[in-house]
Amino acid sequence: MSTNNGETINVTVKVWRQDGPSDKGHFETYEQPVTTDASFLEMLDLLNESLNEQGGEPIVFESDCREGICGTCGVMINGRAHGPQKATATCQLHMREFKDGDEIVVEPFRAAGFPVIRDLAVDRSPLDRIIEAGGYISVNTGAASDANLTPVPKDAADKAFDAAACIGCGACVAACPNSAAQLFTSAKIGHLALLPQGQAERWSRTENMVEVMEEFFGSCTNHGECHEACPKEISLDFIAFMNRDYVKAKVKNRALSGQA
């Protein structure tokens, strides 16, 4: 009746332990047997369970939905954000991607804009700041007109969705050699700039969001690592789109183009 091959493997887990933001931090190495059907985070759950039994403190890592959509989870696994599987958030990664005897190095997402809180948990609040700076369409509750009053070409709506699929996990920043947040920011700018509803604030939004982004994150050198790390495979095209809109925003006569 068994249709899957839930074999048990032994892995060596080298985990970053850091007591708090000011602690220096270090790696600890643990051995953990686990079935290949378990998810990567369940492997960490098991490890925590045994740490608890031995009187140790469990490893702090964040996760919530464990369905790859909330963006809470995210660690570096063997130097890759969210681990080896493409288009997969950490919580959806399963142990069948690993072999018996593998050493797995687990580290927090790193960037100056993502200070470590404890162990593998980092503070990604700068991403909220970027949204706060303009990642919205200003429409008060009740002020909306009928939804079908403004047709949106299907291609534009689909493309906007591709950008809106971003889960805000921060893997793009972690994977970027420059710690740039271009993919995250451009996904939001692209999402809103592609829709007719987003036109009124298009230029001020782009300008404000980019400038807040630059207070926290590095400069994009077009490596493309972010796209590879992105669990939603958001396209680099949005970065180009944002770059163009940003310079346009700086130059444009907004009053006479009817836009803010």
Site for other proteins in 129-148 (CB under 8 A): 129, 131-133, 135-148
Query: 60 or 259, CB closer to other proteins?
Result: 60
Q: Determine, following the binding rule CB under 8 A, whether residue 195 of this chain makes contact with other proteins.
A: yes
CA distance 252 to 233: 31
Which of positions 99-118 make contact with other proteins (CB under 8 A)? 105-107, 110-118
**Site for other proteins contains 77 (CB under 8 A):** yes
Residue 74 touches other proteins, criterion: CB under 8 A? no
Q: Which of 220, 222, 167 is CA-nearest to residue 191?
A: 167
Measured from the CB atom, is 53 or 258 closer to other proteins?
Answer: 53
Pick from 28, 31, 64, 100: which binds other proteins (CB under 8 A)? 64
Q: Is 239 in the site for other proteins (CB under 8 A)?
A: yes
Check residue 20 for interaction with other proteins (CB under 8 A): yes
The reply to whether 253 sits near other proteins by the rule CB under 8 A is no
Residue closer to other proteins, measured from CB, 237 or 259: 237
Phi-psi region of 179 (alpha: psi -120 to 50; beta: other; left: phi over 0): left
**Among 17, 152, 204, 252, contact with other proteins (rule: CB under 8 A):** 152
171 binds other proteins (CB under 8 A): no
> Residues in contact with other proteins, total (CB under 8 A)?
140
Among 160, 171, 172, 189, binds other proteins (CB under 8 A): 160
Instruction: Kindly tell me which residue out of 99, 100, 244, 257 binds other proteins, with binding defined by CB under 8 A.
Output: 244
Kindly tell me which residue out of 10, 33, 65, 100 binds other proteins, with binding defined by CB under 8 A: 65
CA-CA distance, 118 to 55, in Å (whole number)?
A: 19
- 174, 232, 77, 101: CA torsion to nearest 10: -170
For 8, list phi and psi in degrees, rounded to 5. Answer: -100, 130
Q: How crowded is the C-beta side of 113, counted as CA atoms within 13 Å?
A: 25
CB-based burial, 46-65: b 16+ in 10 Å, e otherwise: ebbeeeeeeeeeebbbbbee
167 binds other proteins (CB under 8 A): yes
Tokens in use for 241? 């789109």
Among 237, 252, 254, 259, the residue binding other proteins under the rule CB under 8 A is 237
Distance in Å, CB of 214 to other proteins, minimum: 5
- Residue 244 CB, shortest distance to other proteins, in Å, is 2
C-alpha to C-alpha distance for 84 and 75, rounded to whole angstroms: 11
Tell how many helices (H) and how many strands (E) occur in the chain: 9, 7
Closest approach of Cβ 183 to other proteins, in Å? 11
> 81: which 2 tokens?
């954000």
Q: DSSP secondary-structure letter at 38?
A: S
